[in-house]
Copies of this chain bind each other. A is one copy, B any other.
Amino acid sequence: MKKYAIIVAGGSGVRMGTTVPKQFLLLHGRAVLWYTLQTFLSAYEDMLVMLVLPAEHLEMGRALVDSMVTGRVQIVTGGATRFHSVQNGCRVIAGAGADPRRAEESVIFVHDGVRCLLSKGLVQRCHDQAVQLGSAIPVISSRDSVRLVEGEGSQVIDRSRVRLVQTPQTFLSHLLLPAYEVEYNEAFTDDAQVVEAAGHAVQLIEGETNNIKITMPEDLVIAGYWLKEGLMAKRD
């Protein structure tokens, strides 16, 4: 079965306090996005990557991809929101203008480009579960108590039932591609919700605690530490 990774890298550097967008910041001499791409490309020899970038970062993305000497990364122009960016990636996979339900069945990973610390093992586990159950949404438990705000007050939620959601959110193409032809809804914060809105249940899978989003300067420090310690390599 074909394997596609839609890697969404649409963020700016605002929260980082930098002018370089965070997905292009350097970690031990390589862009954050380089590590992400490398992990997906090395997880499967036949993995094809759709790298979705805002128009203003296409050139930087092209330079990065050229440096990797691979023919397996295609650059796609992003949309106004994360939803629209993923939708663009889906449409390239389905073949422009084609009926997505007629596309050849494949496994599609949707991943945040700034989550550069995921392991190859997580990609492979998500693949295997999606092939078997249709989807794989990586989640981890919360280390803190969790509350739900309700009007003026709040109530505690049973922490043992709470899960924090990561990516790659992984789906068989017959679930993901038609789901992304829905009308945009502001309530969509991830791909699992889009697929659920199309009437399909999604299946969770254990994520990784260090599969964090690089959004704050301190995240770059942590990421550098993990890469230096070789913790990534050990887990593969």
Contact = CB atoms under 8 A, between A and B. Distances in A.
A18 interface: no
A214 to B, nearest CB: 11
B145 A189 contact: yes
Contacts of A192: 145, 147, 156
Q: A-side binding surface: helix, strand, loop or mixed?
A: mixed
A193 B157 CA distance: 10
A30 interface: no
A144 B164 contact: yes
A165 B149 contact: no
B189 A143 contact: no
Contacts of A153: 201
A163 B142 contact: no
Interface of A: 137, 139, 142-150, 153-154, 156-159, 161-166, 187, 189-190, 192-193, 196, 201-202, 204, 209-210, 213, 215-216, 218, 221-222, 225-226
12 contacts: A137-B147, A142-B164, A143-B213, A143-B215, A144-B165, A145-B164, A146-B163, A147-B192, A148-B161, A153-B201, A156-B193, A222-B222
